[in-house]
Amino acid sequence: MLLDPRYRVPPAPPADAGVAWLRASVPRFTDGPAHTRRRALVDRLLAGLPGLPDPGGDPTTALLLALGLPAGCRADVELVAGAYQPHAPQSAVADAAADRLVDRCGGRTEEAAARVCVLVQAHAAMQALLAQLRAGAPGPPVPVTRRVGPDGRTVEVDLAGAPFGAGPHACPGRALAEARAAAVPR
């Protein structure tokens, strides 16, 4: 399904603020030309990252610093990551955190959304991946993803065989995640 163009990502409806605005502005929740354009922004951003510092082994803080943001933004990244998926619990606190991150990244532009997208998605995936490695049970950092089939039904796609996804929506941060995971003491 990840490679079948008939299966599309569930789209995020337009929104003016908060986590909903972020979802409506990132490649994760789009297909077609909007996805291609937004994905290119994320790919350029990741390609331009310097080597990540290792502030106490926390990949989120390292990524914040590499993006020129203060380590104090980590709490906002964590709040937004917890509400990023549409099926996750939503809150005004997470919306306010998303707005603060977007503002720090330049305001309501696709470039700012790309920066916050990288932070939020990397945080959620890296936390899951690191927990799995520490437990000695590696698996996909994101176990399932969703697609809308040709019949309009939403289906869950198991990522056990493709831990970083596949096709146009494959994880753009795979190299970053693998490098950080390799540095984790076993």
The residue extents of the domains of the chain are 18-138+175-182
* Residue 147 β-bridge partners: 155
Q: Which residue has the higher pLDDT, 58 or 112?
A: 112
The encoded tokens of residue 1 equal 């399904």
Amino acid 15: pLDDT: 97
Q: How far apart are CA 31 and CA 48, in angstroms?
A: 24
Question: Does 147 score more than 60 pLDDT?
Answer: yes
Kindly indicate the confidence band of residue 77, based on its pLDDT and cuts at 50, 70 and 90: very high
Q: What is the 3-state secondary structure (H, E, C) of the chain?
A: CCCCCCCECCCCCCCCCHHHHHHHHCHHHCCHHHHHHHHHHHHHHHHCCCCCCCCCCCHHHHHHHHCCCCHHHHHHHHHHHHHCCCCCCCCHHHHHHHHHHHHHCCCCCHHHHHHHHHHHHHHHHHHHHHHHHHHCCCCCCCCEEEEECCCCCEEEEECCCCCCCCHHHCCCCHHHHHHHHHCCCC
* Chain segment 42-67, per-residue pLDDT in tens: 999 999 887 766 656 788 988 999 89
Which range (8-12, 41-45, 125-129) has the least confidence? 125-129
Quote the mean pLDDT of the chain. 91
